Amino acid sequence: MRTFAGHTAFPGGRCDSPEEGPWETALREAKEEIGFDPTKFHFERLCMLPCFLSRNHLVVRPCVCVVSCDGGTSPLQAISSQMNPSEVELTYSTKLRNFVDGKSREFDVLCAHDGYWEGYRWIYYEFEVFRQKYDDWVFSSRDSQLINEQSNITSGLTSHIAVDCARIAFDQKPGTFPSLDQLGFENLIRQLLIDNSFHQKSKKN
């Protein structure tokens, strides 16, 4: 991504028009970035999470789905030849359960720092995801500088979305690190709109 180059992120982007909804945007962006075509997979829409806010004041509405392939093939392997190298260098996966269970042999909580953003409680997360098998990671180029790395960091907005998704899926809060009381950042977004500071900052980015 141009705005957060080098960061772990879910596929996504801006709506192309006012008529394009969250699911249409999510599927279009997933196809453009990682080559995901829902007609070629077992694909089930589950839900949309509450709205989140990026640090450059873009409202993000995560769409959650379940994807699988015939014959036990990993969806990551199935899209490996379709990834857009100008958008994505690496795709990888980890168990959703890690984002409520915390530290394990494949996952570590590096940081869960309590603070405030625009007057609202905020937690800065950094999670380290360890590579378990060689084919757990799929690269868009054989020349990737990350090929020999053994772990990757998930932080910021992406980590918050993953934690909230896990909280919903397993109906529990993280037991070994702090989390926010609410899901998503809709209270913060609402206050920024009331204060008219949301639009002012958005125009600058």
The total domain count for the chain is: 1
134 occurs within a structural domain: yes
DSSP helix, strand, coil percent of the chain (3-state; round to 5): 30, 25, 45
In a domain, 128, yes or no: yes
Q: What is the mean pLDDT of residues 55-74?
A: 86
Q: What is the pLDDT of residue 204?
A: 31
Predicted structure pTM score: 0.87
Q: Is pLDDT larger for residue 162 or for residue 144?
A: 162
Closest by alpha carbon to 177, among 163, 187, 188, 157?
163
CA–CA dist 15, 21 (Å, integer): 7
Indicate if the pLDDT at residue 160 is higher than 70.
yes
* Residue-number span of the structural domain to which 26 is assigned: 22-195
